[in-house]
Amino acid sequence: MGQDEMKMYHKKTLVELSVLLQAGEVSSVELTEYFLARINAHDKNLNSFISVTETQALAAAEQADAAIKNGTAGPLTGVPIAHKDIFCTEGVRTSCGSKMLDNFISPYDATVVSKLKQAGMVMLGKTNMDEFAMGSSNETSFYGPVKNPWQSDRIPGGSSGGSAAAVAARLAPAATGTDTGGSIRQPAAMCGITGIKPTYGRISRYGMIAFASSLDQAGPMAQSAHDCALLLNAMAGFDDKDSTCLDKEVPDYTAELDKPLSGLRIGLPKEYFGEGLDAEVEKVVRGALDEYKKLGAELIDIELPNSGLSVPVYYVVAPAECSANLSRFDGVRYGYRCENPVDLMDMYTRTRGEGFGAEVKRRIMVGTYALSSGYYDAYYLKSQQLRHKISEDFREAFEKVDVIMGPTAPDTAFKIGEKSDDPISMYLSDIYTIAVNLAGLPGMSVPAGFVEGRPVGLQITGNYFQESQLLNVAHQYQLNTDWHRAIPEDFL
Amino acid sequence: MSLDADEVKKIAYLARLKIEEADIPGYVSNLSDILDLVEQMNAVDTAGVTPMSHPLDAVQRLREDVVTEGNQRELFQAIAPKTEDGLYLVPQVIE
């Protein structure tokens, strides 16, 4: 390897960068400057960052270098990372992709942010996202759409589209994301990277701006399952400040990565391979399944009979919870306030009417309607009953199989603008991911190939708290394939 | 399930959202489509099914009723749209 190739740090995984840092072959300041320069050179067009925090990043990198020198460093010390702009970051704008919070400088750090800070990671900036995480294409952002690094006239997926695009374009070795109905897995699939949404309650939601509290879960997005395992080690764990965070021991997620897969039982839900799935995407996914067969796994047909209802159920649960969560944005304590309000009601309605974008307003109104007097039983109660049935389907499936596999999304990335006037067709791009959130299960997306130059993701879903197994299953695939190492041509 | 313009205006009022008159027809159509999608739930009989409140049946954790956070009024009010003497200012409510 020549000197120049050695310095192509963006071609290295987080794990490889960690080794270089520990060995003193590169400093955190050098790495941080390297990635900041890449953001400078490439992001004007890509639009994956809302804020770049250069000064703080270099200060954090110096601290990381000191820790490496005095022997107090961990595996993540000095590695740069980008945070989705949904996580509160002390002293740094936290916009959630909305005009409502365009001027919001958070007075505190989210638990995820402070944990990764404690682990020595260096924040490069905050990534673009659909407004309040409501969207599947990153087009609802107040800061404009993010482009897909593979084909710039296409969407990167959403809502964690900025995080996915930044990692895919190698502007950051890793990023944080959140997933309410597929917002880590779907953009990971569209951009050809690896992302995991852990079990509901595994990672603290404190300081993560709430969308639908019973579904929201944070997770890492990176190049490989091994990278994600290291990040999850630092992100997971009990937090007193989140009442839904579960008090359960965090295993070392790298410990089982090397387990062989012989005898692994993989369930293939017939509902995930039926009508609506693009034929070329299906071919790619079947190809990945063949690879698993070669690794000794057994493929078993299963059924998730109620999964077809997950989109309708989600569009009651998520809007209902969002209408309650977003009532806090009233123009009184922080964020946007309209000009010259004539009275209190005028201030509330104009602040919210002007501060929120169209998709957010749609969802607040759907939720308000579903929760309004006389409609509770028909909508919210019914949806929670169906949620139970959807979870039961998974429970029965996991009596027969270890993991469930299928496509992450029914198609590859669509064109920017193609679905923006048609909410329903946009909602259906999360048809395979939503049920996992409704049941609270862990799920991940792994790059499995391409259709016409656009990445395809394989979705792997596990039983509660089986993140180690998911990462193991993904890692073994990545040892035998190199889809996850592919870099878009414009970012080589 | 289709909504009319008056219903959409009522929902917007309940949600404290000012919607421009010109945008009402768009919301009427989008919200009606979303409610049509949601109606698919009625295809399944859920009589007697327990509603799910938490995927792992976790119960609300309780803690001692003690002060855990100090007063940080100045820090928090520094980002408020309008304050005076430590109070948040809003348009006059009482004549």
C-alpha angle A63-A64-A68 in degrees, rounded to nearest 5:
120
Q: Give the number of residues written for chain B.
A: 95
Closest alpha carbon to A192 in A484, A433, A491, A492:
A484
Confirm whether A304 is domain-assigned: no
Domain count, chain A: 1
Rounded CA gap, A471 and A476, in Å? 9
**Active-site residue, A152 included:** no
* Nearest chain B alpha carbon to A385: B51
For position A114, which CATH number holds?
3.90.1300.10
Confirm whether A279 is domain-assigned: no
Rounded CA gap, A23 and A177, in Å? 29
- Residue pairs spanning A and B at CB distance below 8 A: 161
B50, B52, B62, B73, best to mutate vs chain A, most A CBs in 10 Å? B52
Torsion angle (degrees, nearest 10) of CA B69, B72, B78, B83: 110
Confirm whether A281 is domain-assigned: no
Q: Which residues pair with A197 in a beta bridge?
A: A443
Residues of chain A predicted below pLDDT 50: 1
Active-site annotation holder among A183, A204, A323, A445: A183
In the predicted model, what is the mean pLDDT of chain B? 93
Main-chain dihedrals φ then ψ at residue A176, nearest 5 degrees: -95, 155
Is B22 buried (19+), middle (13-18) or exposed (0-12) by CB count in 10 A?
exposed
Confirm whether A424 is domain-assigned: no
Confirm whether A196 is domain-assigned: yes
**Active-site residue, A213 included:** no
Inter-chain touch B49–A389, beta carbons under 8 Å: yes
Confirm whether A147 is domain-assigned: yes
Confirm whether A82 is domain-assigned: yes
Question: Using a CB-CB distance cutoff of 8 angstroms, which residues of chain B are in contact with residue A345?
Answer: 16
Query: What pLDDT shows up at residue A305?
Result: 95
Is B85 buried (19+), middle (13-18) or exposed (0-12) by CB count in 10 A?
exposed
Task: Assess B15–A contact: CB distance below 8 Å, yes or no.
Answer: yes
Q: Give the residue carrying structure tokens 């309008």.
A: B82
Confirm whether A47 is domain-assigned: yes
Q: DSSP string of A398-449?
A: HHH-SEEEEESSSSS--BTTSSTT-HHHHHGGGTTTHHHHHHT--EEEEEEE
* Nearest chain B alpha carbon to A315: B38
Q: Give the residue carrying structure tokens 């400078």.
A: A40
Question: Using a CB-CB distance cutoff of 8 angstroms, which residues of chain A are in contact with residue B79?
Answer: 103-105, 107, 334
pLDDT tens-digit series, residues A160-187: 999 999 999 999 999 999 999 999 999 9
B68 band by pLDDT with thresholds 50, 70 and 90: confident
Q: DSSP string of A359-379?
A: HHHHHHHHHHHHHSTT-TIII
Q: Which residues pair with A268 in a beta bridge?
A: A301
Task: Assess B62–A contact: CB distance below 8 Å, yes or no.
Answer: no
* Nearest chain B alpha carbon to A422: B30
Active-site annotation holder among A159, A160, A224, A383: A159
Question: Using a CB-CB distance cutoff of 8 angstroms, which residues of chain A are in contact with residue B82?
Answer: 337
Rounded CA gap, A470 and A199, in Å? 11
**Active-site residue, A159 included:** yes
Inter-chain touch B31–A341, beta carbons under 8 Å: no
* Nearest chain B alpha carbon to A441: B55
For residue A71, the enclosing domain spans 3-263+448-457+474-491
Query: What pLDDT shows up at residue A1?
Result: 46
